[in-house]
Amino acid sequence: MDTETFLLELDEAMQKAAEFVSSEMSSIRTGKASPALLDNISVTVESYGTTMPIKQLALVSTPEPRMLTVQPHDPSIMGDVERALRESKLGITPSSDGRLIRLPIPELSEERRVELVKIIKDMAEQGRVRIRAARKDGMDKLKTALKDSNITEDVFHDMEKEVQNLTDKHVKSIDEHLAAKEEDVMTV
């Protein structure tokens, strides 16, 4: 068993889980305009016959702290982009003047902020579960390698510590993202 490759693969799996949680948290609306709010929205463009992310089809900007603007590169797809924004789970009604779509970001109520914090904590826990699952898979591989005499007991114990260090590192990363996002959501 190549221990370096094993650790790199395990680190990569845990990193992907942490990055997924981070990207999911960035899509949570905090009452401030951010182009990241639209990252997970895809537009079905009938004239192109395909579905594409909004950031590939339009320029998304924040001209004001509580306003997003979306300007499609191709004016003929304005209706498709507007429909995708309206049907998204953002809860924001777009308004269009034919060239530019405006998305006013409403102020969040205290009740909605508390609800968003619960959602964010759930996302973080899902990420931790994925990291622990990667840790379990890694430990199972190590135990199998030990049983098959591919590694010694000393190497097993050293690798066990390394796996735990990787787990702790990535869980800490998720916890830091959670704390930052929670503070961001609760700040009025």
Question: Residue 44 has which token pair?
Answer: 């079905």
Which CATH number fits the domain that encloses residue 62? 3.30.1360.40
Which of 56, 87, 104 delimits the end of a domain?
Answer: 104
Mean pLDDT of 30-54: 79
Pairing of the two strands 42-45 and 50-53 = antiparallel
Model confidence over 123-169: pLDDT tens digits?
A: 999 999 999 999 999 999 999 999 998 899 999 999 999 999 999 99
Task: Report pLDDT for 98.
Answer: 83
User: Do both 11 and 56 map to the same domain?
Assistant: no
CATH label of the domain that carries residue 158: 1.10.132.20
Whether 177 and 125 map to the same domain: the answer is: yes
Domain final position from 104, 128, 144: 104
| 70 and 103 Cβ atoms separated by less than 8 Å | yes
- Where a domain ends, among 104, 119, 147? 104
- What is the per-residue pLDDT across 10-31, written as a single tens digit (0 to 9) for each? 999 999 999 988 888 877 766 6
pLDDT band for 37, please (50, 70, 90 cuts): confident
Domain limits for position 62: 35-104
